[in-house]
Every structure is written in structure tokens, then in C-alpha cells.
Amino acid sequence: MSPFPTFTVFDTETTGLDPRRGHRIVEIAGVRVENGRILQESAFSHFVNPEREIPWEARQIHRIRDEDVLSAPTIDQVLPQFLAFAEHSILIAHNAEFDLGFLEVEKESCWGYVELPECLCTMKLSQALFPHEFRHSLDVVAQRLKLELPAERHRALPDVLLTAQALLRMMEIGQITSLEKLRSAAAIRTLSAR
């Protein structure tokens, strides 16, 4: 039996960098990792209608256009679906404070109380394992770990699959054999502490 619970590695693409200034999620994806296996065949991936225009700067990064999300459901429909997908797991993201910050704001548009699971961060894990390295972006971490970069970087599902591979590789390199060790290396500050 694995010493780890199931993880849900997730990523969001957004209209900008700050959800408190009205920026919204336009895509969310997740993949479950169980017993060291990435369950790619049952991944979650959805466009989200942000109910606003996607700025040119954001389109240059993720290549998601207004037409792509026009007929997509809004976050009040997609977020509960994603959380159902992630049920009974711990969330993992690269630069998790960014993605979790969006979930914290976006959950306010959902009907009823929405509780987000515990979330750990592969960027924090990289910083703990490679403290003398200056850069810890997903691209740099992937290259450091000799992982192949997907053709479609900055789209939610390819980024999720890359992050999941990075997570498993770093756990192996760091000889992280318990959830307690992973938490101590990859925990993020709580949003309420900001």
C-alpha cells in the first residue's frame, strides 16, 4: 500500500495575473496520480467562459481566444465538476499560490459553500530540493529533470501532465517517502496569511 494519498495535479489558464482585479479562469485541467501512476486516460480538462474578453497579452501566452470559450460553461458550473473530480485527493500545482488564489476567488461565484482541498506546490518542492538554483519555473524544472517539454506549453492539460511528471521525479530524487516529508518541502502559505 502506498504511503501517499491520491494527488490531483491541476493548472489554470486565466485572463490575467490577479483574480482580485477581475481576472478570470478560462481553462482548468487536472490529472490524478495514484500509487506513483499518472492516470492520464481519465484527465479532466475544460474551457471556462470568463464572461469578459481575454486580453491580447493573455492570448499571446496560452493561445486561447474569445471564440474558444464563448460557448463554454461558466466557473460556477466547472469548478464543482473539477472539485468532484479531485475528491478525496490532495491538490498539487506548480506555483500553486497563483492557481489556488484564482480558485479561492472564483469559488465565491458558486452556489453554496465550496471547500478547497489541501494544496501543495511543485515549485516549493523544487526550491527545497535545489536550494542553490535561482530559477524554478516549470520550463526550467522540466529541463533540470530532463523531462520533455510538451508542444503546447501554457495550456492547462499539457502543463498538468508535465507537472505530474516533475512531481514524481522530484519525489524520487529527494527520496520523499511519506506525506509528512512532502508537506514539509512543498507546503504553501495559507491564503488567509497574506
Q: How far apart are CA 172 and CA 140, in angstroms?
A: 18
Report the range of poorest mean pLDDT among 21-25, 96-100, 185-189: 185-189
Per domain, the residue ranges of the chain are 7-187
* pLDDT number for residue 154: 87
Q: Could you give the dihedral angle defined by the CA atoms of residues 166, 69, 116 and 36, in that order, rounded to the nearest 10 degrees?
A: -30
- pLDDT, one tens digit per residue, over 27-77 is 999 999 999 999 999 999 999 999 999 999 999 999 999 999 999 999 999
In CATH terms, the fold of domain 7-187 is: Nucleotidyltransferase; domain 5 (3.30.420)
Are the C-beta atoms of residues 119 and 96 closer than 8 Å to each other? yes
Q: Is 154 noted as a catalytic residue in this protein? A: yes
Work out the angle between the directed axes of helices 96-106 and 122-129 (0-180°, nearest 10).
160
Predicted TM-score (pTM) of the model is: 0.94
- How many Cβ atoms are within 10 Å of 42's Cβ, its own excluded? 8
| 64 Rama sector, left if φ>0, alpha if ψ -120 to 50, beta otherwise | beta
* pLDDT number for residue 1: 58
Selecting among 23, 46, 132, 154, the annotated active-site residue is: 154
Paired with 91 in beta bridges are: 8, 119
- pLDDT, one tens digit per residue, over 69-117 is 999 999 999 999 999 999 999 999 999 999 999 999 999 999 888 899 9
- pLDDT, one tens digit per residue, over 142-171 is 999 999 998 888 899 999 999 999 999 999
* pLDDT number for residue 191: 47
